[in-house]
Homo-oligomer: A and B are copies of this chain.
Amino acid sequence: MAVTIKDLAARCGLSVSAISKALNNYPDISEETRAHVRKVAAEMGYFPNAQARALKTNRTYNIGVVYEDGNRDGLLHNFFASVLDGFKREIEARGYDITFINRNVGRGQLSLLNHCKYRNMDGALIACVDFYNADVVELSQSDVPCVTIDHLFAATCPCAMSDNRTGMRELVQYVASLGHRRIAFVHGEHTSVTDTRTSSFFETMNALNLPVSPALLVQGVYHSPPSNYAAIKQLMALAEPPSCVLLTDDYAGLGALDAMAELGLVPGRDLSVAGYDGIMVGQLMRPRLTTYQQDTRKVGGEAARLLVGRIERPHDVLPPPVIVPGKLLTGETVAKL
C-alpha cells in the first residue's frame, strides 16, 4: 500500500508526531530536522492520507456540488456547465476538490444535507436546482457553508449572480432603439432570475413609454426549445402579433427559429427574436443570434471565492451578492423595423 507516516518515521528515526509536526510547520521542530523529513518524505513519495487527516481535523478540502439532473439538464445545460467550469478552476486553484452531491449513497437514500455531512464536506455549491425544494432549503440553512448561483436565500448564504436586471434593460433598450414597439417576452418558470428579468422588462418598457399587453407575456420553460416553439406559435396567432420576441435563453431562441422556419417566417425580416446567455453556437450559426451574454466563467469563479471566504473566515459578516455584468451581443436575429 501507500507509504504512511509510520514508515516515514521509522525511516527518519523519529517519532510519528515529530514527522507530523515537521510537515505541518510546528515551531518546536528544528530547521535541520524539518529539512531532513521533507527530503525523505519526497524521496519516499509520502503524502498524508486524506481521510485520516480529515477524521482528526474536520477539514476535507472537498466541496459538495448540488447540481441536479432530474428533469433538468444538469451537465448538459450549457449555462450551468460553464458556471461549474469557472467554479472548478477557481476552487481547484485554492486546493479544494469538488464532488457531486445527490440523494443516494450506498444502498440507501440521504438528504442533500446528510450527504454533505456524511462526506464531511467543507462547503457546498448550490446551482441548477429547484431552490424551493425542501432538501435544498434545509442545506442552505444548515451549518454547512454554502454559496448559491442566481438565487438569494435571505441571510443564510452568499450568492453569485449574473446582472439580469441590466441585461434585460439593455436588451429591451436595444430592441426598442431599432423601432420595435410590440415586444413580447417569453419568461421562464417562477425563479428569482425570472422575477428579476420580468420586472426589469416592465420597468424598461414603461420608461420607454411602450405598451405592455398581457397577451405578449407568455410562460415558457428554460432550456426547452419545444416549449418556446409553442410560445412562438401562440404569439404569432394573435390578432396583433409582436414584431419582436425576447426569449428565456439561447436554446429557446433556437426553438423559436425552428418554429419560425415552419411558419415560413424569416428571422429579422418577418419577426425578430433575441435569446439570452450568449452560448457559443449562437454566435456561430447564421443568422447570428441576438442575445445578452452572461459571463458564466466569472460567475462560477466569484462563487468559488465567496465560498472559500465563508469556509475560512466563518465569522465574517455575510457578504452581499456578487453581481457579474454581461454584454449585449447584437446579432442578426433582431432587425431594424
Contact = CB atoms under 8 A, between A and B. Distances in A.
Interface in A127-165: none
A52 interface: yes
A154 B102 CA distance: 34
Interface string A174-191: 000000000000000000
Copies in the complex: 2
B97 A119 contact: yes
A321 to B, nearest CB: 24
Given A75-B81, A102-B92, A49 B286 contact: no
A60 B50 CA distance: 11
A81 B80 CA distance: 11
A194 interface: no
Interface residues of A, number: 55
A54 interface: yes
16 contacts: A45-B114, A49-B118, A50-B51, A61-B106, A75-B88, A76-B82, A76-B85, A76-B280, A88-B100, A92-B100, A97-B99, A97-B101, A99-B100, A251-B281, A251-B284, A257-B285
Given A93-B104, A95-B104, 20 more contacts: A47-B110, A50-B120, A51-B119, A51-B120, A61-B105, A69-B85, A75-B82, A75-B84, A76-B85, A95-B107, A97-B99, A97-B102, A97-B105, A98-B99, A98-B100, A99-B99, A99-B100, A251-B280, A255-B284, A258-B285
Interface of A: 2, 45, 47-52, 54-55, 60-62, 69, 74-76, 78, 81-82, 84-85, 88-89, 92-93, 95, 97-102, 104-107, 110, 114, 117-120, 225, 251, 254-255, 257-258, 261, 280-281, 284-286
